[in-house]
A and B are shown apart, each in its own frame.
Chain A
Amino acid sequence: GEDVEQSLFLSVREGDSSVINCTYTDSSSTYLYWYKQEPGAGLQLLTYIFSNMDMKQDQRLTVLLNKKDKHLSLRIADTQTGDSAIYFCAESPSGGSYIPTFGRGTSLIVHP
């Protein structure tokens, strides 16, 4: 299987919360990231979390990390149509070149 797995699609109604899930296999992962990609654009770093943290909150974004289960989630509160994009989960180990491994991305579609 892939090193970083995500579901490919998520559809929510405007105003609801979105939860995008990600699982990874590398137990040495130290940095875990969420990136957002809007159509035809590059990736925008949304947030990241260290493996020694359980949760990180930044305005509407909440990242939860279950290191035991190697599960990462991104919750977007009060989802807006402008949040429609592809969200990539990525992980990188400490040391070495820090090159992240990306998941295939979750397409978030927000309905008005």
Chain B
Amino acid sequence: GAVVSQHPSRVICKSGTSVKIECRSLDFQATTMFWYRQFPKKSLMLMATSNEGSKATYEQGVEKDKFLINHASLTLSTLTVTSAHPEDSSFYICSANMFRVGSYEQYFGPGTRLTVT
């Protein structure tokens, strides 16, 4: 299957600082990538849809100025958590869609554990 990587896998930062998370599709081009946030014992919450070459589409309730998304190329999307606070601590997962005729498959990265102290 297709491979999606995330970097870093784990990050601890101080309150007030910004953190950048990278999502890369390693062996395919992804015109669309997705950013999810996962709370403990909860399902994935879609934060935004990242489209290459255009502005991201944010889900209701997600602050676009706090969670900056840049889809710079067909293989890279970044999520920057600005002025992080402890309540931003979470598991962030990206995914990229691989579109094939007759099906739609979404491949997930391994996730990034963010801890804000």
Contacts and interface: CB of A to CB of B under 8 A. Distances in A.
Contacts of B104: 31, 92, 98
Nearest to A89: B43
A55 B22 CA distance: 37
A105 B43 CA distance: 6
A63 B82 CA distance: 42
Nearest to A43: B108
B74 interface: no
A48 B105 contact: yes
B44 A88 contact: yes
Contacts of B108: 35, 42-45
B113 interface: yes
B77 to A, nearest CB: 14
Contacts of B105: 45, 48
A99 B34 contact: yes
Nearest to A94: B104
A40 B91 CA distance: 8
Interface string B89-103: 000010101010001
Nearest to A4: B43
Contacts of A50: 103
Interface string B26-58: 000000101000000111101001000000000
Contacts of B4: 42
Contacts of A102: 43-44
Interface in A30-85: 31, 35, 40-45, 48, 50
Contact of B111 (A35, A41, A99): A41
Contact of A45 (B1, B46, B49, B99): B1
A40 B106 CA distance: 19
A88 B43 contact: yes
B43 A42 contact: no
Contact of A43 (B32, B41, B93): B93
Contacts of B99: 98
Contacts of A105: 43
B103 A31 contact: yes
A100 interface: yes
